[in-house]
Amino acid sequence: MKQEMASSRTQLYWKRLGLGLLYVMLVFVAVVQVLPLVWLFFFSLKNNQEVFHLPPFALPEDPKWENYVKVWTEGNIGVYFFNSVWITVVSVVLTVFLASLATFAITRMKWKLKKPVLGLFMVGLMIPVHSALIPLFSLFLKINLINHPLSIILTYTAFNLPLTIMILLGFYYTIPRELEEAAIMDGCSVHGLFFRIILPITTPAMATAAIVNMIFNWNEFVFVNTFISSDEYKTLTVGIQNFVGQYTTDWGAIGATLVISILPILIAYLILSDRIVEGITAGSVKG
| R_g (Cα) of the chain, nearest Å | 25
Q: Where exactly are the structural domains of the chain?
A: 2-43, 77-284
- Summarize pLDDT for 114-150 with one digit per residue, the tens: 888 888 888 888 888 888 899 999 999 999 999 999 9
pLDDT tier at 286, thresholds 50, 70, 90: very low
Q: What is the CATH topology of the domain spanning 77-284?
A: MetI-like fold (1.10.3720)
- Rounded to whole angstroms, the Cα distance separating 55 from 61 reads 13
Q: Within 10 A of 140 (CB to CB), how many other CB atoms are there?
A: 20
Q: In the predicted model, what is the mean pLDDT of the chain?
A: 83
- Rounded to whole angstroms, the Cα distance separating 88 from 214 reads 6
- Summarize pLDDT for 16-35 with one digit per residue, the tens: 888 888 889 989 998 888 88
Report whether 43 contacts 252 (CB < 8 A). Answer: yes
Tell me the mean pLDDT in the region 268-276.
71
- Rounded to whole angstroms, the Cα distance separating 186 from 188 reads 6
- Reduced to 3 states (helix: H, G, I; strand: E, B; else coil), residue 244 is strand
- Summarize pLDDT for 202-220 with one digit per residue, the tens: 888 888 888 889 888 998 8
- Summarize pLDDT for 257-269 with one digit per residue, the tens: 888 888 888 887 7
Phi-psi region of 147 (alpha: psi -120 to 50; beta: other; left: phi over 0): left
pLDDT at 236 over 50: yes
What are the CA-CA distances from residue 178 to residues 139, 171, 181, 185, 197 (Å)?
46, 16, 5, 10, 12
Report whether 147 contacts 227 (CB < 8 A). Answer: yes
pLDDT tier at 287, thresholds 50, 70, 90: very low
pLDDT at 65 over 70: yes
- Reduced to 3 states (helix: H, G, I; strand: E, B; else coil), residue 249 is strand
> What is the structure's pLDDT at 285?
47
Give the per-residue SS3 of 144-184.
CCCCCHHHHHHHHHHHHHHHHHHHHHHHHHCCCHHHHHHHH
> What is the structure's pLDDT at 282?
54
- Summarize pLDDT for 74-110 with one digit per residue, the tens: 777 888 889 999 999 999 999 999 999 999 888 888 8
Could you tell me the pTM of the whole model? 0.80
> What is the structure's pLDDT at 149?
93
